Copies of this chain bind each other. A is one copy, B any other.
Amino acid sequence: MVISIDSPLDMHLHLRDEEMLDIVAPLSAETFSGGLVMPNLVPPVTSKEDVRSYRERIRKAQGEHRFIPYMTLFFKSDYSPEFLESVREEILAIKLYPAGITTNSEGGVSGFDLEELSPVLGVMSDLGIPLCVHGETGGFVMDREAEFIPIYEMLARHFPDLKIVMEHITTKAAVEALDRYENLYATITLHHLYITLDDVAGGLLQPHLFCKPIAKRPEDREALLKTALAAHPKVMFGSDSAPHPRDKKEAPGCAAGVFTAPIALQGLAQLFDRHGALDNLQAFVSDNARRIYGITPIEKTVILEKTPWLVPEIYEGTVVPMFAGQSLEWRVLSAE
């Protein structure tokens, strides 16, 4: 069996910088038509010059592959209206991190004081710049996302014209919030469709499946799966593919992140196929994002074939992917 995906998009992607960028950018660019690139570099992407120069580095790293790096800015509450207007054409969205909640988020927002956030959010709303949010509180790790839902709702209420994307949702609570506000959207990763905390820590400890937000309960995974398989019109695929060098993952103090970029389409095809939902894959992995963000990605046709494919143990001797050394039921035949 063979399926064709038209211009797949990865709406939440970490490409990092320097050597890691050189390793991972071609792996996304090979099969995806574009990706929303997260701005949590060290230091974060906060100026027009940062955006432009990071885009150039990505373009250089992606090589021959046709791929659009949709750029984002790291949310700061002190951006001026003039700056936001001037940077509008360079970016697709602005990403908000609560301070210290995940990799390189130290410069993020502390507390969610509407008075502090409103000037920038108001301008974003006026300019039509979507707000992408890593929605976790500093609470107990299993509760952080659910505790954050009232903040999403508060933002959605106060800025009804602002598109707010709940990034990498992991809970039933977030899925349910999606339908309560017209301007709330969400991305869902590959790994949160496959795993629960049981896969991370239920047997032996698996650092390569350790991520933020942490994988949750079986009923949470079920809710995510149901909404992704149905290609809910407000939900997009965003891998949150987050590469770390192997030695950083396989040591105490292991960094959070699952590297899925090069296996994402194969893993999605397997999952949608197993659940008889292949017809919805195109919407989940491309059409919904085009509509929500109003983008027209470059044309790329990806042909996937249902034939066993052995996932590499490691890429460039550096990054271990999800399903490393295991067999997936689908492979990429071509992407042109």
User: B-facing mask of A186-213, CB < 8 A → 1, else 0?
Assistant: 0000000000111011101111101000
* 8 Å CB interface, A238-266 against B: 249-256
Copies in the assembly, this chain: 2
Q: Which residues of B contact A214 (CB under 8 A)?
A: 201
| Interchain CB contact under 8 A, A252 and B207 | yes
Q: Which residues of B contact A140 (CB under 8 A)?
A: 196-198, 202, 217-218
Q: Which residues of B contact A200 (CB under 8 A)?
A: 201
Q: Does A142 sit within 8 A of B, measured CB to CB? A: yes
Q: Does A277 sit within 8 A of B, measured CB to CB? A: no
| Interchain CB contact under 8 A, A141 and B206 | no
| Interchain CB contact under 8 A, A201 and B252 | no
Distance of A142 Cα from B249 Cα, bound (Å): 24
Q: Which residues of B contact A205 (CB under 8 A)?
A: 205, 207, 210, 252-256
Distance of A204 Cα from B101 Cα, bound (Å): 11
Given known pairs A200-B201, A201-B200, A201-B214, the reply for A206 and B142 (CB within 8 Å) is no
Task: Return A153 CB to nearest CB of chain B, in Å.
Answer: 24
3 shortest interchain CB distances as A-B pairs: A205-B254, A141-B202, A204-B253
List 19 A-B residue pairs with CB atoms under 8 Å apart, sorted by A's residue number. A140-B197, A140-B202, A140-B217, A141-B201, A142-B142, A200-B201, A201-B201, A201-B214, A204-B253, A204-B254, A204-B255, A205-B207, A205-B210, A205-B256, A206-B252, A207-B207, A207-B254, A249-B252, A250-B252
